[in-house]
Amino acid sequence: MSKIFNIKCPSCGVSQEVELHESVNVATEPKLKQELLENRLNRVECIDCDANFRVDMPLLYSDPAHHVLIHWIPETDTFGKEQIIEDFDRSLEQINEMVPPDIEVPSVRLVLTRVELVELIFMIEAEMNERVVEYVKYSIYTRNLEKIPPRQFRLLLNVQDSSDEELCFVMQDAEDQKLGKELRYGRAAYDSMCELYDETPEEFIEMFPGPCISARNLLLEDSVEA
């Protein structure tokens, strides 16, 4: 679904009307999915200064084949992470209360950045356990807090560059969005944790209840409470 929006160029300030997408259904709009993955979705070229920029706005990503809905809600100066998660949890509870018990509700996820959305898409399509992946990230963070402070860096799983032997994680600077150092984690250790999850998932679910499943967010919350 798309709408016409009046957008002001961040470079020169000139306004123009552009068509932007508010949702992507991969079953009916595979082209939009590819644009999203290639960072071409909702990009605008200024009619005055030719600046090319991406407009970050709430986006609903629907994948019927995997029975999942992912909401990307970017943070703003007036609408921060805590408020987004709180409001989203409340809305999700209301929706679940309205759905009849015999109706299967899709898995619903919430992400706050485009890179987290792309990361989650690749994880879902590779049939990786998202909570176990975030548990791995949590372990990497807590063992390397001085080298990888969560306030400064995101850890992103690079599914495409991972192998049968190792998972590939990339550090991203949370401020300038630049990708940096790669970290490798043994696939066998991840597989063992997946087996543990299959036997007793309660600990993982309690740690990352969702719909925003994020080791970094959990660590930042813990640092605020400490």
Q: Does 166 have pLDDT greater than 70?
A: yes
The burial class, CB within 10 Å (0-12 / 13-18 / 19+), for 225 is exposed
pLDDT of residue 1: 77
Q: Which helix (H) or strand (E) holds 219?
A: helix 215-225
Residue with tokens 């996820």: 109
Q: Please provide the average confidence, as pLDDT, over all residues in the chain.
A: 93
pLDDT (tens digit per residue) in 114-151: 999 999 999 999 999 999 999 999 999 999 999 999 99
Report pTM: 0.92
Identify the residue with better confidence: 157 or 222.
Answer: 157
Identify the residue with better confidence: 102 or 178.
Answer: 178
Task: Give the 3-state secondary structure of residue 32.
Answer: helix
Identify the residue with better confidence: 210 or 136.
Answer: 136
Residue ranges of the domains in the chain?
58-225
pLDDT of residue 97: 76
